[in-house]
Structure 1
Amino acid sequence: MPLPFMTADRAYETADDAPLPFEDRERWRRPYRPGPWRVATAALALLLASYVLFAAVVIALTGSVTEAGVIFGVSLLVIAAALRLLRMGVWVSARGLRHVRFLVTRTVSWNRVAAVRTVQQPVRYLGLPRTVQGQALILVRRDRAAEPATLLTTHGADFVGRAEAFDRAADAVEAWTAENRPG
C-alpha cells in the first residue's frame, strides 16, 4: 500500500534539474517526510487507540452500551489526534503556503508572502518550553508588522537529529516561494 506522505521527499532527491518536480502544482504537498519522532508518537497513539477500541468491544459485550459508546468516542478522539499529528507541518501549492499545527491551520497566499528564509536563533526542542540554539525557517508576511512566523526548526519533531533533512526541506519551501511569489 503506497503511503504518499512517506514519498514526498524522494521527488526532491531524484530531481536534478528542477527545484519543483511536481506536475500538479495546485495540489497541497508537504515537501519533506514527517520525522521519526512524529511518526513514532502517532504510532504509539494508534496502538493505544487499538487497545481502547478492544476495551469498548469488551464493555459492549458485558451489556453496558452507553459506557462502550463513550470509550469508543475516546478511541476516535485518539485516532483523530494521531492523524492530525501526522498532517502537521508546512504544505505548499501554487496557491500559497499552509502551516498546519495541531489545532490551527493558517494559509497564506503567495502574494502576501514577503520572504521565507532560514535564520539562526533559539528554537524550542520538540515543542517543549526548553530552547536550544538552532536554525528556523521563518515566514515574513507583507501585510503584518508583527514578528515572523516560525515554520520549521532543526529541533522540531520532524528534524531533530536530521540536519540534512531540515536543509532540504527549507530549500524546497524557499524554492516554492521563489517560484510562486509575485515580484
Structure 2
Amino acid sequence: MPLTFLTADRAFDTADDVALPHDDRDRWQRPYRPGPWRVGASALLLLVASFVLFAAVVIAATGTAGSAGTVFGVALVAIACALRLLRMGVWVSARGVRQVGFFVSRTVPWEQVVEARTVQQPVRWLGLPRTVQGQALVLRRRGRGAGEALPPLLTSHNADFLARPEGFDRASDAVEAWAAEYRIG
C-alpha cells in the first residue's frame, strides 16, 4: 500500500536549493513539518473525541436526544480544537508571513518586513510560562505598528521543534529566505 504522505515528507529532506517543495508561491504554505508534540497532542485529542462520540451514540440510543446532542457538540468542539492545533504555526506566501495561533492569526506583508533573523533569547517551553534559553526567529517591521513588539515566529522549544534543532534551523532558514526574496529595500 503506497503511503503518499511519506513521500511528501521526504521532499523537505531532499530539497536543498529551494525553501519549499512547492512551486505555487501564492498559496499559503508551512515551510516545515508539524512537530511530534503538536501531532501527538492532536492525536490524543482526537482519541478523546472518538470516545465522546461513542458516548453520544450510546446516549442517543438509551437517553434523550437533547443530552446526546450536547455530548455530540462536545465531541465536535474537541475535533475542531485538534484541527486548529494542527493548523497552528508559521505560514508563508508571496504576500507575506502569517503566524497562526490557537485563537488569533497575525499576518505581516513582506513590504512591512525590515528583517527576519534568528536570535538567542529566553523562549517559552512548549508555550508554557516556563522559559529556557533557546533560539527564536523574530521579525522586525516598519510602518504602522513598527514599535509594537511581535512575538517570535518560531522558537527552538515550541511544539514543532522541541528536540529537533535541525528542523528549527531549516524552518528559520526557509522563512529568512522568503523574507530576503520578497521584502522591499
What TM-score range do you get, normalising by the shorter chain?
A: over 0.9
SS in 2 for 1:150: coil
Q: State the 1:20 CA deviation.
A: 4.7
> What's the RMSD between the two structures over aligned residues?
1.7
- Could you tell me which amino acid in structure 2 is paired with residue 151 of structure 1? L
With normalisation by structure 2, the TM-score equals 0.92
Q: State the 1:114 CA deviation.
A: 1.3
Q: Could you tell me the percent identity over the aligned residues?
A: 65
- The match for 1:173 is 175
Say whether residues 1:129 and 2:123 are aligned partners.
no
Q: State the 1:16 CA deviation.
A: 3.4
Relative to structure 1, the CA distance from residue 10 to residue 107 in structure 2 (aligned partners, 3 Å threshold; closer, same or farther) is farther
- The match for 2:161 is 159
Following superposition, which runs of at least 4 residues in structure 1 exceed 4 angstroms of deviation? 1-4
Q: Say whether the 8 Å CA contact 2:118–2:172 is kept in structure 1.
A: yes
Q: State the 1:65 CA deviation.
A: 0.3
What residue ranges of structure 2 are gaps of 5+ in the alignment?
none
With normalisation by structure 1, the TM-score equals 0.93
Per-residue displacement from partner, 1:41-72 (whole Å, max 9, x unpaired)? Answer: 00000000000000000000013100000000
Per-residue displacement from partner, 1:105-125 (whole Å, max 9, x unpaired)? Answer: 111111011111100000011
Relative to structure 1, the CA distance from residue 52 to residue 10 in structure 2 (aligned partners, 3 Å threshold; closer, same or farther) is same
Distance 2:182 2:91 in 1: 14
- Could you tell me which amino acid in structure 1 is paired with residue 69 of structure 2? G
- Could you tell me which amino acid in structure 1 is paired with residue 108 of structure 2? V
SS in 1 for 2:152: strand
Distance 2:172 2:17 in 1: 18
Q: State the 1:23 CA deviation.
A: 1.3
Q: State the 1:2 CA deviation.
A: 4.3
- The match for 1:104 is 104
- The match for 2:68 is 68
What residue ranges of structure 1 are gaps of 5+ in the alignment?
none
Q: Say whether the 8 Å CA contact 2:19–2:31 is kept in structure 1.
A: no
Q: State the 1:140 CA deviation.
A: 1.2
- Could you tell me which amino acid in structure 1 is paired with residue 182 of structure 2? N
SS in 1 for 2:54: helix
Distance 1:63 1:100 in 2: 40
- The match for 1:116 is 116
